[in-house]
A and B are shown apart, each in its own frame.
Chain A
Amino acid sequence: MKLNTSSYLLGKKELLKELVERLGRDFSYVSVLGTDVTGMTWRVQTSGMTLRPSNDEERGFVVRVFQESGFSEYSFNKLDAQTIGEVVRQVKRTAERDRAVFLNHAETLPYPSAPADEPLERSFVQEVESLPELADPAEVLNRMKAIHDRVKEKHEQLVQLMLMLTYTQVNKIFLSKNRDLYQSYVYTNAACAGVARGEDKVESDYAPASGLCGLELLDRMEELAEKAARQSVELLSAEKVQPGEYDIICDPEFTGLLAHEAFGHGTEMDMFVKDRAKGREYMNRRVGSDMLMMHDGATAAREVSSYLFDDEGNPGSDTLIIDHGILKSGMCDELSSLQLGVAPTGNGKRESYKRKAYTRMTNTFFDEGDDDLEAMIASIEHGYLLEGLSSGMEDPKNWGCQCVAAKGREIRDGRLTGRLISPVYLTGYVPELLESISMISPGLELCGCGYCGKGWKERVKTSTGGSYIKMRGRLS
């Protein structure tokens, strides 16, 4: 069945059209994005339970206008027949008066033209197995509590077990002089985390799942809880890695982190405009091994960042970033596309209607290959199988890379020894890391349980993935 659309946004559509029309008298380009995001988060843990709105819940609007002296935006969350005049006044104040004051002391960044605003009228309302808003919250909670109790009882050293299920329905409307777009889609995250206590240490681990779907992930909750519990207890025996260079195998989750941090951020083209990305000078040059293929795009996969249009009203796409080791393309938002003279790729995303749009990743992954995981393990004399992701940080200007894995499993003489290391930092120079990829397994997996920041801010939903890859890297 189809999701219910946002009666709030559709109820405001005529006012939004009026807003675009009134501002269009003074500005060469006007657009408005409206968001109505709802959802719910169930959390059951050993110390209690909660039921809260989704973290991403919000409702509001952002107007963008363009004039010869550049772009301005105004974000707000009240619009009716009485206040539309005030919104028009505030947009004009921001774009005309404020901008004139600032440009008394600074030059503007010139744009060759306004956005093309090619005509486009489309709508997308996602089909789901069942509407998440109709789920009985008590039934979901009781089922999660029962799973918690069963799994917790099995693991003596587990002091905390947390089960979390959250669905978020995103409703967005975008209007400009020539565009009339609407979309409703829902993504769900399930995650379980355990905390285990040994004699002299505490360890934790988690197991995530995500999808562009309703509450179907609840069916995987017991498997995730068991995995998180088992892994947390297992980590109590983990040791520190001896710092050095090793042959490593990355599991799909960690491969996804590598794709995201190592090259994803470096091909966000707003960084090209600021001359902050080395990728710009490496276009059509080799940046990785011949077997490496990398994609990003809202239509490249069906995951949490799949949508019809981005927050600037441009259609989502599938961008081939790396083709057989050659850097072929970046991803681009609207303003950067005007600066660079390229077409936008539908990657203009906002943390919320309250924030600016930047070039952001969507669903980012390395393509699968055909090498067998067993053969990868058998080919390693001394190295590690890295599993799970903890965090990462980009360095697009200098192609440094920090990716933190939850743990590593030691491989000696072609076999897993059972010895664990944790935490594990993989660092190094990105082209060297990517050039060292020598085997890629079949079985592409994506996960979008976390958020991606731009530097240390602007959190947006993304998914990342890949399959098992063998490479060489520096661990600490």
Chain B
Amino acid sequence: MLQLILDNLRGRDDIKDWILTESRLESAELFFVRDRLDMNRRTSIQECELHVYVDFNEDGTAYTGDAVALIGPDDSPEEIGRKIDRAVFSAGLIRNPAYPLPGPGSAEPIIRQGFDTVGDLEKRFAGLHRLFFGSYAYQARVNSVEIFTKAGTKRTISSKGLDVTEPVSEFMFELVTDTDTGAEPVEIFRIYNLTSQDEEEIRAIVVKQLIETEGRATALPSPLMEHCRVIISGAEVEEFLFYYVSHATDSLVYQKVSRAALNERFVPAGAKQTLNIRMNPALASSPVARAVDDEGKILLPYPLYEDGVVKNFRTHARFSHYLGMPHIGFVSTFEAEGGECSLDDLRKDDYIEILAFSSFLMDTTTGDFGGEFRLARMVRGGEVSYITGGAISENISKAQLTMRFSRELQNQKCSRVPAAIVLEDVAITGKPMS
């Protein structure tokens, strides 16, 4: 398939540039109800995505158009030719002001280590089964698990001379835990994304979720409260910080959605927490870290924010050209520096720590964030209790003035970020207190 595409591209003068990505992926999947194996699955998929760029003039204006063709291994040479022709035709309709597609750069790509997650599933299954369904000292138990492993390669080739092959390795699972020890049966479910089957990490995840599920069994309906110190943790920290990553992106700046400006402060000077974020394409803990972006640019780490000041934008070839700035590439994985306080310090005094949201939402355009929570730990005067069914709804423009990050860090799907963030003066919706 790849060779057929390259043969078709060779010698074409109607394409200015092209980028071809070939994925060869295998997966193995297991679905459990309690500790019993329901279905098992395998997949074996090859796919190519061809991105073509075409330069043209219309009414004295120069344009660069682009389009995409998806090509599969069952496509005949004629069909591949037709798909490429159609992509070239489509690109010729796209009247975006002209821009160059820069080369990959001279740096060596940082290729991270891959793992045979598919093969490992079979080899390490006995241990995995024990980790999920073994005996734990809790009344909560595992309701069901779905395990997804993926391994293979992603190769990116371009008309600018790029040819990079990266490993793909993912280990994802959905874990549902439940208990009927409270007034009503309760459950918690989450998805976890790892790069490999790290037994200690999986054990810690299972134990933490079992403990939280027991907490939910004892939880009382959340009262209506104002002026609370609220702690958010887990995946919601990544979601929250993604607001800042998103706003330091050339496309949002060009579109005037973001007010970020290079070397200018984005977080207000009076904020309690300094913001330091670094984009890292080689983030070892992330299953989505990539050495090359979708436009064939070899990616290197760069600072995004230093002490709340924007140091770089994540860039695309088109928007960086329009903004007249260097194209450093679009990195998706990031690291945020922790704060000065430990988790224990943040948990001093009264607080409400939201342990499980129904679905935490951060609107990266408006900065509105919040959601209903299924479980929160409420500490008042040293007394600990659990509450459920409350909700928060805030905006980052206010929240960032008083937010503080924990010193401890955690790994998430796209990032390494503080384990927790404290927000002050938050209102919690719930049942009015009698």
- A residues contacting B by CB (< 8 A) are 8, 45-53, 57, 59-60, 70-80, 90, 93-95, 98-99, 101-109, 137-138, 141, 145, 159-160, 195, 197, 200-204, 240-241, 243-245, 273-276, 335, 354, 356, 390-393, 395, 397-398, 400-402, 404, 422-423, 425, 427-429, 455-457, 474-476
Q: Which of B89-97, B281-289, B403-411 contacts A (4 or more CB under 8 A)?
A: B89-97
Contact of B365 among A8, A202, A275, A428 (CB under 8 A): A202
**Contact indicator B37/A474 (Cβ below 8 Å):** no
**Contact indicator A402/B38 (Cβ below 8 Å):** no
Contact residues in A for B257 (Cβ distance below 8 Å): 159-160, 195, 197, 202
- The answer for the CA separation of A474 and B393 in the assembled complex, in Å, is 13
- The answer for the CA separation of A50 and B64 in the assembled complex, in Å, is 11
- The answer for the CA separation of A75 and B361 in the assembled complex, in Å, is 33
A-B CB proximity, top 10 nearest: A476-B429, A393-B359, A402-B372, A243-B429, A75-B43, A159-B256, A109-B36, A78-B73, A402-B358, A427-B372
Known A-B contacts A46-B255, A102-B30, A402-B371; A53 and B69 likewise in contact (beta carbons under 8 Å): yes
Known A-B contacts A101-B122, A159-B256, A335-B38; A457 and B363 likewise in contact (beta carbons under 8 Å): no
Contact residues in A for B33 (Cβ distance below 8 Å): 109, 273-274
Contact of A77 among B36, B45, B122, B367 (CB under 8 A): B45
- The answer for the CA separation of A57 and B122 in the assembled complex, in Å, is 32
| Total number of B residues with any Cβ neighbor in A under 8 Å | 84
- The answer for the CA separation of A381 and B216 in the assembled complex, in Å, is 36
Contact residues in A for B38 (Cβ distance below 8 Å): 70-71, 109, 335
B47 at the interface (CB under 8 A from A): yes
Known A-B contacts A106-B129, A476-B393; A53 and B37 likewise in contact (beta carbons under 8 Å): no
**B402 nearest CB across to chain A (Å):** 17
Closest B residue, CB atoms, query A454? B174
Contact residues in B for A200 (Cβ distance below 8 Å): 397
Contact of B389 among A201, A273, A335, A427 (CB under 8 A): A427
Contact of B224 among A76, A243, A429 (CB under 8 A): A243
What are 5 A-to-B residue pairs whose CB atoms are below 8 Å?
A48-B318, A98-B122, A243-B428, A274-B143, A276-B176
**A71 nearest CB across to chain B (Å):** 5
Contact residues in B for A95 (Cβ distance below 8 Å): 40
Contact residues in B for A106 (Cβ distance below 8 Å): 32, 35-37, 129, 133
- The answer for the CA separation of A476 and B429 in the assembled complex, in Å, is 6
Contact residues in A for B126 (Cβ distance below 8 Å): 104-105
- The answer for the CA separation of A159 and B365 in the assembled complex, in Å, is 12
**Contact indicator A395/B174 (Cβ below 8 Å):** no
- The answer for the CA separation of A51 and B31 in the assembled complex, in Å, is 38
Contact residues in A for B384 (Cβ distance below 8 Å): none
**B350 nearest CB across to chain A (Å):** 19
Contact residues in B for A80 (Cβ distance below 8 Å): 74
Closest B residue, CB atoms, query A396? B187
Contact of B46 among A78, A138, A241 (CB under 8 A): A78
Interface centre among B31, B40, B90, B178 (most CB of A within 10 A): B40
Other than the given A109-B36, A335-B39, 19 more pairs (CB < 8 A) read A8-B74, A46-B255, A51-B94, A59-B72, A70-B39, A72-B40, A75-B44, A90-B44, A98-B122, A102-B125, A106-B133, A108-B36, A137-B90, A274-B143, A402-B358, A425-B429, A455-B191, A457-B174, A457-B191
Interface centre among B74, B255, B371, B389 (most CB of A within 10 A): B74
Closest B residue, CB atoms, query A390? B361
**Contact indicator B43/A455 (Cβ below 8 Å):** no
Contact of B254 among A47, A52, A400 (CB under 8 A): A47
- The answer for the CA separation of A239 and B254 in the assembled complex, in Å, is 27
**Contact indicator B35/A475 (Cβ below 8 Å):** no
**A279 nearest CB across to chain B (Å):** 13
B432 at the interface (CB under 8 A from A): yes
Closest B residue, CB atoms, query A69? B37
**Contact indicator B37/A475 (Cβ below 8 Å):** no
Contact of B186 among A60, A145, A241, A397 (CB under 8 A): A397
B residues 45-95 with Cβ under 8 Å of A? 45-47, 66-70, 72-74, 89-91, 93-95
**B132 nearest CB across to chain A (Å):** 10
**Contact indicator A195/B255 (Cβ below 8 Å):** yes
- The answer for the CA separation of A274 and B43 in the assembled complex, in Å, is 25
**Contact indicator A47/B251 (Cβ below 8 Å):** yes
Interface centre among B37, B189, B251, B361 (most CB of A within 10 A): B37
The 8 A CB mask of B228-266 against A (1 = contact, 0 = none) is: 000000000000000000000001001111000000000
Contact residues in B for A422 (Cβ distance below 8 Å): 368
Known A-B contacts A76-B44, A108-B36; A49 and B176 likewise in contact (beta carbons under 8 Å): no
Contact of A425 among B184, B185, B393 (CB under 8 A): B393
**A96 nearest CB across to chain B (Å):** 11
- The answer for the CA separation of A60 and B71 in the assembled complex, in Å, is 12
Interface centre among A137, A404, A429 (most CB of B within 10 A): A404
**Contact indicator A48/B42 (Cβ below 8 Å):** no
B370 at the interface (CB under 8 A from A): yes
Contact residues in A for B358 (Cβ distance below 8 Å): 393, 395, 400, 402, 427
- The answer for the CA separation of A45 and B257 in the assembled complex, in Å, is 13
**B318 nearest CB across to chain A (Å):** 7
**A345 nearest CB across to chain B (Å):** 20
Known A-B contacts A72-B40, A107-B37, A393-B359; A476 and B254 likewise in contact (beta carbons under 8 Å): no
Contact residues in B for A51 (Cβ distance below 8 Å): 67, 90-91, 93-94
**A406 nearest CB across to chain B (Å):** 11
**A23 nearest CB across to chain B (Å):** 14
Contact residues in A for B32 (Cβ distance below 8 Å): 106, 109
Contact residues in A for B44 (Cβ distance below 8 Å): 74-76, 90
The 8 A CB mask of B288-308 against A (1 = contact, 0 = none) is: 000000000000000000000
- The answer for the CA separation of A475 and B359 in the assembled complex, in Å, is 16
- The answer for the CA separation of A142 and B68 in the assembled complex, in Å, is 20
Contact residues in B for A141 (Cβ distance below 8 Å): 93-94
Interface centre among B91, B191, B374 (most CB of A within 10 A): B374
Contact of B41 among A72, A79, A276, A400 (CB under 8 A): A72
B391 at the interface (CB under 8 A from A): yes
- The answer for the CA separation of A79 and B44 in the assembled complex, in Å, is 12
- The answer for the CA separation of A390 and B94 in the assembled complex, in Å, is 30
**Contact indicator A423/B187 (Cβ below 8 Å):** no
**Contact indicator A400/B30 (Cβ below 8 Å):** no
Contact residues in B for A74 (Cβ distance below 8 Å): 41-44
**Contact indicator B93/A109 (Cβ below 8 Å):** no
**Contact indicator A455/B391 (Cβ below 8 Å):** no
- The answer for the CA separation of A160 and B30 in the assembled complex, in Å, is 44
B29 at the interface (CB under 8 A from A): yes
B residues 305-358 with Cβ under 8 Å of A? 318-319, 358
Contact of B43 among A335, A354, A398 (CB under 8 A): A354
The 8 A CB mask of B109-137 against A (1 = contact, 0 = none) is: 00000000000001001100100010000
The 8 A CB mask of B180-218 against A (1 = contact, 0 = none) is: 000011110101000000000000000000000000000
Closest B residue, CB atoms, query A274? B144
Interface centre among A47, A94, A392 (most CB of B within 10 A): A47
- The answer for the CA separation of A427 and B390 in the assembled complex, in Å, is 8
- The answer for the CA separation of A101 and B430 in the assembled complex, in Å, is 50
Closest A residue, CB atoms, query B359? A393
Contact residues in A for B319 (Cβ distance below 8 Å): 47
B392 at the interface (CB under 8 A from A): yes
- The answer for the CA separation of A356 and B424 in the assembled complex, in Å, is 43
